[in-house]
Amino acid sequence: MTDQPSSTGGGARPGRFGSYGGRYVPEALVAALEQLDEARLKANIDPAFQGELERLHRTYTGRPSIITEVPKFAQHAGGARILLKREDLNHTGSHKLNNVLGQALLTKRMGKTRIIAETGAGQHGVASATAAALMGLECVVYMGTKDTQRQALNVARMRLLGAEVIPVSHGSATLKDAINEAMRDWVTNVDTTHYVIGTVTGPHPFPEMVRDFQRIIGVEARAQVLDLVGRLPDVVCACVGGGSNAMGIFHRFIDDESVRLIGLEAGGEGVDTDKHAARFSTGLPGVLHGAFTYVLQDEDGQTLESHSVSAGLDYPSVGPEHSFLRDTGRAEYRPITDTQAMDAFALLCKTEGIIPAIESAHALAGALEIGREIGPEGVILVNLSGRGDKDVDTAARWFGVLEDGLSPDGLHPDGLEQQ
């Protein structure tokens, strides 16, 4: 196995991971998907493209990102060694820029002048707005109104960067509906516009392409862990919304059979309630947003609304390659409740002086759980996919750390409902 991305997904047909993936889209988009596929396959083997992306990562993103061992945090995980891959230290504060810079370069190669993006937590929207500013592209970001409220800081960041943010109020007013609206824009403006999907889902070639742009996380981390520990980790864990940070850190380890890959989904208020985003607990294979994959759906095939304290994991579907890894048993997936995630969030803040994104806190909570299972000899690599600045308001409400006079009115005593 080399450090080069593979061009196939492991399925018999192109764009398939086993039976998952595919291209369930209006015919009007097929030509653009073909053009994108051709452009990215050429770019994969073009030294000029790879050189430019590598230069941007070195001089702009801040790669390679470091790994940090967190021994005080790990004391709460039965003493296993816990290493954090610090994607939170990337420019814009998350792993999202890895993918966006790649797609922005492809946009220019395809001769397009405008990018659109969906965003949940705002991390992908901010990364897209950033890349657009850097490369002189017009940028429009679609974001559910529920998310524009709980991630207001990121809305301001995108607008400061020159992007137009369009709130989407229909449906569940979260990430899923932002994607619908972005798709509608794309089908109307596809001649000039590239849709920068922020995660490893959507129609082929998005799941494969985004994974390949995020794969650098695992490539770096594998070498860094070998260097620090002298052996491979026992477990790699990452939070899974759409699943791009998880695919990014998992992929380089797939052939390392001794390494367990564990994805942590948003368990919300519990998988026995209807307020969660644990697709692998109660979802079924189906089609959403262009891909055949696990989807939270009712018996008529209508998409169910998901719920999570973290906007970035609040999505009723998941990237198709995760569905494949799950069914084949190569990766495991577990739900983490809102409370578990927030407890892990607080613990990392206080023990190590690192404020994680609430999304990433799900991976940290997973590491605490897994550490207690595997014992003190274990080594766990956690993808700390983003920083928590954007979540300070949510966390302050959750923990009630603001002075009484500063507390927002109408706050649910143990929740985050802001409507």
Q: Looking at the annotation, which residues are catalytic? A: 96, 118, 385
For residues 24 and 317, the answer to whether their CB atoms sit within 8 Å is: no
The residue among 28 and 228 lying less far from another protein, judged by its C-beta, is 28
Q: Does 284 bind another protein (CB under 8 A)?
A: yes
> The tokens 């750390």 sit on which residue?
401
Q: Which of 381, 393, 390, 417 is nearest to 85 (CA)?
A: 381
Q: CB 241 → another protein: shortest distance, Å? A: 17
Q: Does 110 bind another protein (CB under 8 A)?
A: no
Could you tell me how many residues make up the chain?
A: 419
Q: CB 287 → another protein: shortest distance, Å? A: 5
Show the beta-strand stretches assigned E in 169-316: 193-195, 235-239, 260-268, 284-288, 291-295
Contact residue for another protein among 130, 297, 310, 337 (CB under 8 A): 297
Q: CB under 8 A: which stretch of 23-31, 89-97, 258-266, 325-333 binds another protein?
A: 23-31
The residue among 257 and 299 lying less far from another protein, judged by its C-beta, is 299
**Nearest-10 crossing angle of helices 30-44, 96-109:** 100
d(CA 369, CA 352): 18
Q: Does 2 bind another protein (CB under 8 A)?
A: no
268: left (phi over 0), alpha (psi -120 to 50) or beta: left
Contact residue for another protein among 8, 28, 58, 350 (CB under 8 A): 28
Contact residue for another protein among 32, 131, 139, 367 (CB under 8 A): 32
Q: Does 288 bind another protein (CB under 8 A)?
A: yes
Burial of 55 (0-12, 13-18, 19+ CB in 10 A): exposed
Q: Is 148 helix (H, G, I), strand (E, B) or coil?
A: helix
Classify each residue of 12-26 as buried b or exposed e, where b means 16 or more C-beta atoms within 10 Å of its C-beta.
eeebbbbbbbbbebe
The residue among 94 and 199 lying less far from another protein, judged by its C-beta, is 199
Q: Which amino acid is at 6?
A: S
Q: Does 308 bind another protein (CB under 8 A)?
A: no
Contact residue for another protein among 30, 156, 226, 402 (CB under 8 A): 30
Q: Does 228 bind another protein (CB under 8 A)?
A: no
Q: Which of 210, 212, 255, 211 is nearest to 236 (CA)?
A: 255
DSSP track, 11-41: SSSTTEETTEE-----GGGHHHHHHHHHHHH
Q: CB under 8 A: which stretch of 65-73, 124-132, 284-292, 373-381 binds another protein?
A: 284-292
Q: CB 412 → another protein: shortest distance, Å? A: 24
d(CA 330, CA 390): 33
Q: CB 34 → another protein: shortest distance, Å? A: 8
Q: Which element (helix H / strand E) includes 104?
A: helix 96-109
The residue among 196 and 364 lying less far from another protein, judged by its C-beta, is 196
Q: Is 351 helix (H, G, I), strand (E, B) or coil?
A: helix
CA–centroid distance for 317 within its chain: 12
Q: Does 296 bind another protein (CB under 8 A)?
A: no
Q: CB 124 → another protein: shortest distance, Å? A: 18
Q: Does 349 bind another protein (CB under 8 A)?
A: no
Which residues inside 142-201 make contact with another protein, applying CB under 8 A? 170-171, 176-177, 179-180, 183-184, 187-191
Contact residue for another protein among 148, 154, 201, 303 (CB under 8 A): 303
> The tokens 């940028």 sit on which residue?
139
For residues 276 and 297, the answer to whether their CB atoms sit within 8 Å is: no
Q: How many residues bind another protein (CB under 8 A)?
A: 38
Q: Is 118 helix (H, G, I), strand (E, B) or coil?
A: strand
Q: CB under 8 A: which stretch of 27-35, 95-103, 221-229, 238-246 binds another protein?
A: 27-35
Q: Does 12 bind another protein (CB under 8 A)?
A: no
The residue among 8 and 407 lying less far from another protein, judged by its C-beta, is 8
DSSP track, 212-234: HHHTHHHHHHHHHHHHHHSS--S
Q: Does 19 bind another protein (CB under 8 A)?
A: no
d(CA 23, CA 202): 8
Q: CB 33 → another protein: shortest distance, Å? A: 10
The residue among 6 and 189 lying less far from another protein, judged by its C-beta, is 189
Give the number of other Cβ atoms within 10 Å of residue 324's Cβ: 22
Contact residue for another protein among 302, 353, 406, 417 (CB under 8 A): 302
Binding site for another protein (CB under 8 A): 22-32, 34, 170-171, 176-177, 179-180, 183-184, 187-191, 284, 286-290, 295, 297, 299-303
